[in-house]
């Protein structure tokens, strides 16, 4: 690039804020960028460095096009975090549904090629170079004569030479341009893509945890850390014995076998069709055996899923708990994490403690699904109810029922419950809020008929066809709820990436996204400003996401030192 920085070269090529620029980074750190071809740049793009990308991002703020979150992870490893991106895989899932989104699959969709002829990626012959690779040959064209991506190129051949890397960056840009013409809502594509940047950062940064507190909690719940497998067996046996002492005399049972547990309960006079927790819980007060069994199950789950091996595998020496993150869990489009971060038992949250000089600011969207229903359906009466901090109160008044029944009615409507108390409440909803109910009914009907659905933000929700009456009914319930859950996930991610963008000046870092909850780790002196930031970003997001402006979204926001100190709103 001579003496000119990347930002200068891009400006000379006519690149402006928000323009798409293909970006590829090889395992050895080589970086290629590919703006739209012009007189100022080579047709296949430019070779540069991660540092130059960071500088250009600061100077111009383009939208970097990546094939997947992997590029963001590579940039973070090189010490670079960009502001925004267009993630081809994330936008592919938005437009076409499903989970698969590898480059060859996404390219075939965009080009309208038969999907059954997409070259198989069997994971063999990975062509990304390493220390033992032979000298690379000239890079082939990434698109084969039949229009599909060249398999060897897509499996890693793009990283073998600078020429190949530039072609890969250019091709990402071409894919993004085609996607942009196909996506229903550009704002959703932007936030879904930037959510992948946030996911890469969450995985890299981790969740602050106090090791001594976590080990103390585990010791209280499942016993001390075993020093050998034999000692671990002794501890397990002692835990089992607390249940078995309530069983019939001389009646051994493997507590990890549902069949043997059911037989053990029957011998003690507890006859149940199965041993699910929800079936046993009402019997706990009258049966010491059932009560001990339920307590054992809690401890067993901790021991097997969140025990010392989990701790050793996922807690870094810096006191951060880490797992992999993805911006979409499938049809609903929710962010999700591995390493148990999304299902951490409440008792262990007491060990999630802010680092010295910092606090957590927690924000949880309140009554998000019924508020989303009001927005996406356009039901004016339901939108009016959202002006209340607790919208179930005006809904209850409209239905002529108390607040708990109003909540049941709303949930029953969104989940398709048609029998019992929830079914009667949902029938009242149909009279009071016909527009909202009509929106849900349309989703239910289309899903039953096997018609694919699209959420408010444009995410495709695939539906199968045929099946038994029970399967068809279940598909209808799934469809009506997927429209609401999917839209709520889109709103949440737009809020999260807005907080990410606005929080830098405060040193506020998002360390957890849990369903409808954000957890920020902030310097203690900036905590009050972070509270205002979260509220302001929600208002900004609501204006962008639901521009009609008649639905009020709220968040319960609190400043805490430990995650467990935050109370759900």
Give the integer Cα–Cα distance in Å for 123 and 142. 18
**pLDDT at residue number 124:** 45
* Residue environment code for 544-566, b if the CB has 16+ CB neighbours within 10 A, otherwise e: ebbeeeebbbbbebebbebbeeb
Give the integer Cα–Cα distance in Å for 411 and 373. 11
Domain with CATH 1.20.1060.10 in the chain: 211-311
CB proximity list for 201: less than 8 A, separation 6 or greater: 72, 76, 81, 500, 509, 510
Bridge partners (DSSP) listed for residue 149? 143
Closest CA to 321 of 335, 348, 339, 306: 339
Q: What is the pLDDT along the chain (569 residues), one digit of tens a residue?
A: 445 799 999 998 889 999 999 999 999 999 999 997 554 555 678 999 999 999 999 999 999 999 999 999 999 999 999 999 999 999 999 999 999 999 999 999 999 999 999 987 644 444 444 433 444 456 578 999 999 999 888 888 999 999 999 999 999 999 999 999 999 899 999 999 999 999 999 999 999 999 999 999 999 989 899 999 999 999 999 999 999 999 988 777 899 999 999 999 999 999 999 999 989 999 999 999 999 999 999 999 999 999 999 999 999 999 999 999 999 987 679 999 999 998 899 899 999 999 999 999 999 999 999 999 999 999 999 999 999 999 999 999 999 999 999 999 999 899 887 666 666 777 789 899 999 999 999 999 999 999 999 999 999 999 988 899 999 999 999 999 999 999 999 999 999 999 999 999 999 999 999 989 999 999 999 999 999 999 999 999 999 999 999 999 999 999 999 999 976 44
Backbone angles phi, psi at 461, to 5 degrees: -110, 110
Distances in whole angstroms, Cα of residue 524 to Cα of each of 110, 507, 530: 48, 10, 10
**pLDDT at residue number 40:** 52
Dihedral in degrees, nearest 10, Cα atoms 32, 34, 39, 40: -50
Asked if residues 485 and 369 have their Cβ atoms less than 8 Å apart, the reply is yes
* Signed CA dihedral, 479, 480, 486, 489: sign only: negative
Rounded (to 5) percent helix, strand, coil in the chain: 55, 10, 35
**pLDDT at residue number 38:** 53
Asked if residues 66 and 72 have their Cβ atoms less than 8 Å apart, the reply is yes
Backbone angles phi, psi at 406, to 5 degrees: -65, -40
Domain with CATH 1.10.150.20 in the chain: 370-488
β-pairing, 20-25 vs 63-66, is: parallel
C-beta atoms surrounding 117 within 10 Å: 10
Asked if residues 46 and 66 have their Cβ atoms less than 8 Å apart, the reply is no
Distances in whole angstroms, Cα of residue 424 to Cα of each of 11, 410, 490, 545: 63, 11, 31, 33
Q: Selecting from 3.40.140.10, 3.30.70.370, 1.20.1260.10, 3.30.70.100, what CATH number does the domain 318-367+490-565 have? A: 3.30.70.370
Distances in whole angstroms, Cα of residue 187 to Cα of each of 21, 97, 131, 140: 18, 18, 42, 35
Asked if residues 292 and 246 have their Cβ atoms less than 8 Å apart, the reply is yes
Alpha helices in 16-62 (DSSP H): 50-60
**pLDDT at residue number 422:** 62
Q: What is the phi-psi region of residue 49: left when phi exceeds 0, alpha when psi lies from -120 to 50, beta otherwise?
A: beta
Supply the DSSP string of 310-368, one letter for each residue.
HHHHHB-TTSEE---EES--STT---EESTTTTS--GGGGGG-BPPTTEEEEEEEETTH
- CATH number, domain 6-183: 3.30.420
* Signed CA dihedral, 40, 46, 50, 52: sign only: negative
Give the integer Cα–Cα distance in Å for 85 and 318. 29
Closest CA to 147 of 112, 183, 199, 189: 112
Give the integer Cα–Cα distance in Å for 46 and 163. 9
Dihedral in degrees, nearest 10, Cα atoms 321, 327, 331, 336: 10
**pLDDT at residue number 368:** 97
Asked if residues 289 and 246 have their Cβ atoms less than 8 Å apart, the reply is yes
Domain with CATH 3.30.70.370 in the chain: 318-367+490-565
**pLDDT at residue number 419:** 66
Of all helices (H) and strands (E), which one includes residue 86?
strand 85-87
Report the predicted TM-score, pTM, of the whole model to 2 decimal places. 0.92
Closest CA to 222 of 360, 231, 107: 231
CATH topology of domain 370-488: DNA polymerase; domain 1 (1.10.150)
Superfamily of chain region 211-311 = Taq DNA Polymerase; Chain T, domain 4 (1.20.1060.10)
CA distance from start to end of the chain: 54
């Amino acid at each position: 690039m001579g003496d000119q920085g990347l930002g200068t070269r891009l400006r000379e090529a006519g690149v402006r804020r928000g323009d798409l620029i293909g970006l590829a980074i090889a395992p050895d750190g080589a970086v290629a960028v590919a703006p739209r071809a012009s007189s100022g740049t080579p047709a296949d793009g430019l070779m540069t460095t991660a540092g130059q990308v960071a500088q250009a991002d600061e100077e111009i703020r383009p939208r970097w096009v990546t094939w997947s979150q992997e590029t963001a992870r590579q940039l973070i490893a090189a010490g670079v975090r960009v502001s925004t991106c267009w993630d081809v895989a994330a936008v592919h899932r938005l437009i076409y549904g499903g989970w698969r989104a590898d480059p060859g699959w996404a390219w075939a969709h965009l080009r309208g090629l038969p999907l059954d002829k997409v070259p198989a990626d069997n994971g063999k012959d990975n062509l990304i170079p390493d220390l033992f690779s032979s000298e690379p040959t000239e890079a082939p064209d990434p698109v084969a004569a039949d229009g599909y991506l060249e398999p060897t190129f897509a499996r890693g051949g793009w990283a073998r030479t600078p020429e190949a890397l530039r072609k890969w960056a250019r091709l990402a840009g071409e894919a993004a341009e085609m996607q942009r013409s196909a996506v229903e809502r550009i704002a959703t594509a932007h936030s879904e893509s930037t959510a992948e940047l946030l996911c890469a950062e969450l995985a890299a940064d981790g969740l602050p945890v106090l090791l001594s507190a976590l080990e103390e909690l585990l010791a209280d719940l499942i016993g001390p850390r075993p020093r050998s497998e034999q000692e671990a067996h002794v501890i397990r046996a002692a835990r089992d014995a607390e249940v078995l002492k309530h069983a019939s005399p001389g009646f051994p049972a493997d507590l990890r076998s549902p069949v043997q547990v059911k037989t053990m309960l029957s011998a003690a006079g507890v006859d149940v069709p199965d041993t699910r927790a929800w079936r046993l819980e009402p019997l706990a007060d009258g049966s010491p055996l059932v009560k001990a069994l339920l307590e054992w199950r809690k401890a067993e789950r901790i021991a097997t899923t969140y025990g010392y091996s989990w701790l050793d595998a996922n807690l870094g020496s810096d006191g951060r708990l880490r797992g992999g993150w993805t911006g979409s869990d499938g049809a609903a489009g929710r962010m999700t994490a591995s390493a148990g971060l999304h299902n951490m038992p409440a008792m262990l949250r007491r060990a999630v403690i802010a680092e010295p000089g910092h606090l957590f600011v927690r924000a949880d969207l309140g009554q998000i699904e019924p508020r989303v229903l009001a927005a996406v359906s356009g039901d004016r009466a339901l939108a009016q109810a959202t002006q209340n901090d607790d919208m179930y109160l005006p809904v209850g008044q409209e239905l002529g029922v108390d607040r708990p029944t109003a909540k049941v009615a709303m949930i029953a409507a969104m989940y398709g419950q048609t029998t019992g108390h929830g079914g009667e409440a949902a029938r009242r909803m149909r009279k009071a809020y016909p527009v909202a109910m009509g929106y849900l009914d349309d989703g239910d009907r289309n899903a039953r008929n096997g018609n694919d659905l699209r959420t408010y933000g444009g995410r495709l929700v695939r539906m199968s066809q045929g099946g038994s009456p029970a399967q068809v009914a279940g598909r209808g319930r799934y469809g009506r709820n997927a429209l609401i859950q999917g839209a709520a996930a889109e709103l949440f991610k737009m809020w999260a990436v807005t907080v990410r963008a606005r929080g830098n000046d405060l040193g506020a870092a998002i360390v957890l996204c849990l369903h409808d909850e954000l957890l920020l780790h902030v310097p203690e002196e900036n905590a009050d400003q972070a509270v205002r930031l979260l509220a302001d970003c929600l208002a900004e997001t609501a204006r962008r996401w639901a521009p009609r402006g008649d639905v009020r979204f709220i968040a319960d926001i609190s400043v805490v030192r430990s995650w467990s100190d935050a109370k759900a709103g």
